[in-house]
Structure 1
């Protein structure tokens, strides 16, 4: 919808009032909420992630090999690593996921759209983009919508919109989720893992309630999820996908070092 900010504002306010004001509006738990152990079904909810700026080629290969071994849903990497990951994962059933506008979300819409199209050309099957956080907090809903919609159009594939919830009020989380759903996103996602804090069950539930009206739009929880118990907490709140760098350790029930992703 090509709406002005004056046209978006009452729609966003109405959604905020609906979500915050209706205690009967229960978000369904995800299809993964009944899992009792990190099994093969659990693996299908995991975006196995390596986004550190100092990630080496050999570490990227290791990430891919772990994803293939455990049959994770995707490997999520920075754009420069997409071609390598796509080649490594070829024929495995695990998808390549690329982050866009990462981790700040403050690039131009044209730059984000180009980055998304380039990632898809290089082999990405899913895109995780960072919302324009400043525009969302300012209430520039027309810009937030057009920014997301441009990436959705450029990618022509699954797009997950990272809200960076650690910076947002509940009202802003609802607004961002609503605008992402309206712009054609497939998922709304909690955090990048680069700004402190992390995913919470309360945020996942709030985001799920905000998009449940739009059939098919789901929630991805990411940042600080480093155990099976934490994953299960996110599933019970309504998450359908988990972003974590600890997927292999969780599958092996191994101890995981502290960290943000």
Structure 2
């Protein structure tokens, strides 16, 4: 007797963050999310209102990004962006840390930057992207801890726009540091159902991918992010 296949749909943030995304593309994204009962769609702030209309009554959450993809706007700008996104209908905000500050070791700034967005999002879910591809293991540990200390609901591996995406080693490292105090979103590089299952086994409770339809259909994710 074999175990039943893992139902991946409740883990997936069905993602479309390309600059070229059209309203028609967003409507299709939402239709796919409805059909497959994904956890959320993840879209740029411009598209929140459109997706809110398309997904009304579906149970699918709307996630958006903040300070994306570089993390180099000021804390005040990130906080205002997050506030406006929540006002527009976002249920979840995925913010990018100040990556340069993390590399420089200015952990006080990194934590305060996250805390400013935490205050702006109120009770909505806050995911903090630490962009692991640019950080050493020690920096990943410190960034993860800063996110937890600032009140993040999730720590997220990647934007999908950096030099690399989620790895099993990074998810395991984050899980060890978090120690149950927050959740983990693995994003970028989830190419197959086996990859997805491995990320979940390592500690991820959310998967960011533009290839969610393929993953739940048992196919290879060729979409990139």
User: What secondary structure, in the 3-state scheme, does the structure 2 residue paired with 1:192 have?
Assistant: coil
| CA distance in 2: counterparts of 1:160 and 1:224, whole angstroms | 18
Structure 2 counterparts to residues 54-69 of structure 1, below 5 A: 54-69=20-35
Rg larger for: 1
Q: Give secondary structure in 2 for the equivalent of 1:147.
A: helix
5+ residue gaps, structure 1, are 1-34
TM-score (norm 2): 0.96
Matched, 1:181 2:181: no
Aligned counterpart in structure 1 of residue 189 of structure 2, from 221, 224, 246? 224
CA distance in 2, matches of 1:205, 1:59: 34
Does the CA contact (< 8 Å) of 1:49 and 1:244 recur in 2? Answer: yes
Partner of 2:214: 249
Q: Which residue of 2 aligns with 1:96?
A: 62
Partner of 1:142, secondary structure, is helix
- Which residue, 18, 34, 40 being the options, matches 1:52? 18
Q: Cα–Cα, structure 1 residues 150 and 36, in superposed 2: closer, same or farther, change >3 Å?
A: farther
Instruction: Give 1:258 deviation, angstroms.
Output: 5.6
What pairs up with 1:206-225 in 2 under 5 angstroms? 206-212=173-179, 214=181, 217-225=182-190
Offset from partner CA, 1:188-227 (integer Å, 9 cap, x none): 000011112111000000011111163xx01110001121
Structure 2 residue 5 is matched with structure 1 residue 37: yes
Instruction: Quote the residue 1:22 is aligned against.
Output: none
Tell me if the contact between 2:191 and 2:220 (Cα under 8 Å) persists in the aligned partners: no
Secondary structure, counterpart of 2:170 in structure 1: helix
- Quick one: which of 91, 95, 98 aligns to 1:129? 95
* 2:211–2:223 contact (8 Å) kept in structure 1: no
Tell me, in whole angstroms, the C-alpha distance in 1 between the residues paired with 2:220 and 2:136: 33
Q: Is residue 197 of structure 1 aligned with residue 161 of structure 2?
A: no
Give the TM-score normalised by the residue count of structure 1.
Answer: 0.83
Counterpart Cα distance in 1 of 2:145 and 2:82: 21
User: Taking structure 1 as reference, are residues 236 and 38 closer, same or farther at Cα in structure 2, changes over 3 Å only?
Assistant: closer
Superposition deviation, residue 163 in structure 1:
0.5
Among candidates 33, 44, 51, match of residue 85 of structure 1: 51
Q: Distance in 2 between matches of 1:38 and 1:245?
A: 19
Q: Match for residue 118 of structure 1?
A: 84
Is the contact between residue 190 and residue 221 of structure 2 (CA under 8 Å) also seen in structure 1?
Answer: no
Say which of 236, 240, 249 aligns to 2:205: 240
Higher relative contact order (CA 8 A, sep 6+): 1
